[in-house]
């Protein structure tokens, strides 16, 4: 019942999302064992193909594949690969195709790159972030983290704050969160909210202080200077003053409300320097859960689904 490629959250039904999250529970348990490995994908080969920097996504996909006993190769488009000699994305893809891979995890600066790759290769393609388009596995690990903390997603009010315009995380999360029944409000300066945002099934606000007391989750986005070709706000200091989370603003939140962030964080910009150490800032849970959710996806998509990993006690 699982899809061959994961390019967009649009491809997943609520039942499929539930299955990914439920299966991730088993892999979360594997991650607590002394020997964190199951044979589910033994003999299969996964390639991490990264044309853009990454810490969390690349390492957690690698760790997830290794925990499933897959062989993992990693390609980062730098001076050590033939991309530096002018080899195109397509020729790189065809080279990988000739190596008989089972899955390719791809991150690329261009929106649509993962879809294009899926048209060139027989392997399953997992989108690890394509330009400003989508980052579906980030959204799934975020759903998992929310469900773990609140026991549900349905009915929660989630504020996505900041650079929505350039954010693939926002696009995938808005699709995933609204699909699973959450009420989403996007909050930020008008210049960082896409003109089409009104058709995304979300509420829109430019007043963070007014929204904070209503939210169950404050999901902060990174200011993506690398994607901003225009001056979208006067200065980082001004951005921080109007839309950054600081101690005063945390005081406006519901006592039980949590703060999330996909990482990497810009301390002192979207979040005050000392806040990431707060208990209600759960970015470390997001990172930990990313391994289990990505293992779950690869397990389901690559047909390792004969049996879930047995409990260490059984
Ligand atoms: N959240 C995320 O995609 O982080 P990386 O860019 O470090 O992979």
For ligand 1, whether the C-beta of 309 sits within 6 Å is: no
Tell how far CA 22 is from the center of its chain: 18
Q: How far is the CA of 311 from the centre of ligand 1 (A)?
A: 30
Strand partners, 183: 157
Looking up tokens 């999302």 gives: 17
| Residue at 4 is within a domain | no
Residue 313, pLDDT > 70, answer no
Asked if residue 18 and residue 121 are part of one domain, the reply reads yes
Ligand 1 pocket mutation pick from 50, 51, 55 by most atoms within 8 angstroms of CB: 55
Asked if residue 13 and residue 122 are part of one domain, the reply reads yes
Angle at 127 (CA atoms; ends 125, 133), nearest 5 degrees: 140
Residues 256-273 pLDDT 10s = 999 999 999 989 889 998
| Residue at 59 is within a domain | yes
Residue 295, pLDDT > 80, answer yes
Asked if residue 162 and residue 121 are part of one domain, the reply reads no
Asked if residue 85 and residue 158 are part of one domain, the reply reads no
Q: Which atom of ligand 1 is nearest to the CA of 135?
A: 3
Residues 137-152 pLDDT 10s = 999 999 999 999 999 9
Out of 87-91, 224-228, 245-249, 272-276, pick the least confident: 224-228
Asked if residue 268 and residue 242 are part of one domain, the reply reads yes
- Mean pLDDT for the stretch of residues 277-297: 96
Asked if residue 117 and residue 34 are part of one domain, the reply reads yes
- What is the Rg, in whole angstroms, of the alpha carbon atoms belonging to the chain? 19
Residue 226, pLDDT > 90, answer no
pLDDT of residue 82: 85
| Residue at 2 is within a domain | no
Work out whether strand 157-161 and strand 183-187 pair parallel, antiparallel, or are unpaired.
Answer: parallel
Separation CA 312–CA 309 (nearest Å) = 9
| Residue at 309 is within a domain | no
| 309 band by pLDDT with thresholds 50, 70 and 90 | low
pLDDT of residue 201: 96
- H/E stretch holding 57 reads helix 56-67
- Mean pLDDT for the stretch of residues 221-238: 73
Q: Which atom of ligand 1 is nearest to the CA of 128?
A: 3
**Which domain, by its residues, includes 204?**
136-283
| Residue at 158 is within a domain | yes
Asked if residue 146 and residue 279 are part of one domain, the reply reads yes
Query: Percent of the chain having pLDDT more than 90?
Result: 81
Residue 36's SS3 state is coil
Strand partners, 108: 130
Name the residue at shortest CA distance from atom 1 of ligand 1. 262
Asked if residue 117 and residue 87 are part of one domain, the reply reads yes
Asked if residue 162 and residue 39 are part of one domain, the reply reads no
| Residue at 311 is within a domain | no
The answer to whether the Cα torsion of 57, 219, 244, 8 is positive or negative is: positive
- Residue 227 DSSP code: G
Residue 286, pLDDT > 50, answer yes
**Average model confidence (pLDDT) for the chain?**
92
pLDDT of residue 118: 97
Asked if residue 102 and residue 91 are part of one domain, the reply reads yes
Q: Which atom of ligand 1 is nearest to the CA of 57?
A: 8
Asked if residue 220 and residue 187 are part of one domain, the reply reads yes
pTM for the model:
0.93
- Which is more confidently placed, 233 or 150? 150
pLDDT of residue 198: 87
Here the CATH number for the domain that contains residue 59 is 3.40.50.1370
Question: How many structural domains is the chain composed of?
Answer: 2
pLDDT of residue 79: 78
Contact 9, 134 (CB under 8 A): yes
Name the residue at shortest CA distance from atom 4 of ligand 1. 56
| Residue at 306 is within a domain | no
b/e 233-245 (16+ beta carbons within 10 angstroms → b): beeeeebbeebbb
- H/E stretch holding 45 reads strand 45-50
Residue 35, pLDDT > 80, answer yes
Q: Which atom of ligand 1 is nearest to the CA of 58?
A: 8
pLDDT of residue 273: 86
Q: How far is the CA of 59 from the centre of ligand 1 (A)?
A: 9
pLDDT of residue 314: 45
Residues 39-60 pLDDT 10s = 999 999 999 999 999 999 999 9
Structural tokens at position 54: 């990454």
CA distances 150 to 68, 156, 256, Å, are 28, 9, 10
| Residue at 3 is within a domain | no
pLDDT of residue 312: 55
Q: How far is the CA of 224 from the centre of ligand 1 (A)?
A: 12
For ligand 1, whether the C-beta of 213 sits within 6 Å is: no
Looking up tokens 């490995």 gives: 37
Separation CA 137–CA 225 (nearest Å) = 23
- Mean pLDDT for the stretch of residues 229-254: 85
Asked if residue 272 and residue 185 are part of one domain, the reply reads yes
Q: How far is the CA of 57 from the centre of ligand 1 (A)?
A: 5
DSSP per-residue codes, 87-150 = --HHHHHHHHHTTT-SEEEEEESSTTHHHHHHHH-SSEEEEEEETTTB-HHHHHHHHHHHHHHH
Separation CA 140–CA 289 (nearest Å) = 10
For ligand 1, whether the C-beta of 55 sits within 6 Å is: yes
For ligand 1, whether the C-beta of 138 sits within 6 Å is: yes
pLDDT of residue 229: 57
- Which is more confidently placed, 236 or 248? 248
């Amino acid at each position: 019942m699982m899809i061959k490629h994961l390019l967009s959250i649009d491809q997943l039904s609520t039942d499929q999302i539930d299955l990914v999250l439920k299966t991730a529970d088993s892999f979360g348990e594997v991650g607590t064992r002394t020997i964190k490995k199951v044979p589910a994908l033994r003999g299969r080969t996964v390639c991490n193909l990264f044309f853009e920097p990454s810490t969390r996504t690349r390492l957690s996909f690698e760790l997830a594949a290794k925990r499933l006993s897959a062989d993992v190769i990693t390609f980062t488009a730098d001076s050590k690969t033939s991309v530096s000699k002018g080899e195109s994305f397509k020729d790189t893809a065809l080279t990988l195709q000739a190596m008989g891979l089972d899955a390719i995890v791809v991150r690329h600066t261009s929106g649509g790159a993962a879809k294009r790759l899926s048209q060139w290769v027989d392997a399953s393609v997992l989108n690890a972030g394509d330009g400003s388009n989508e980052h579906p596995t980030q959204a799934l690990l975020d759903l998992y983290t929310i469900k773990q903390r609140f026991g549900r997603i349905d009915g929660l009010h989630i504020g996505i704050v900041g650079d929505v315009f350039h954010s693939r995380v926002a696009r995938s999360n808005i699709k995933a969160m609204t699909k699973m029944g959450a009420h989403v409000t996007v909050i930020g300066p008008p210049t960082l909210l896409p003109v089409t945002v009104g058709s995304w099934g979300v509420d829109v606000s430019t007043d963070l202080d007014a929204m904070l007391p209503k939210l169950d989750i404050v999901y902060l986005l990174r200011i993506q200077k690398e994607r901003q070709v225009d001056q979208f706000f006067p200065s980082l200091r001004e951005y921080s003053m109007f839309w950054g989370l600081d101690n005063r603003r945390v005081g406006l939140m519901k006592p039980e409300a949590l703060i999330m962030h996909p990482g990497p964080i810009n301390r002192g910009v979207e979040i005050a320097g000392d806040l990431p150490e707060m208990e209600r800032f759960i970015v470390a849970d997001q990172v930990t859960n990313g391994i289990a959710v990505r293992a779950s996806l690869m397990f389901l998509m690559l047909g390792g689904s004969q049996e879930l990993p047995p409990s260490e006690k059984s």
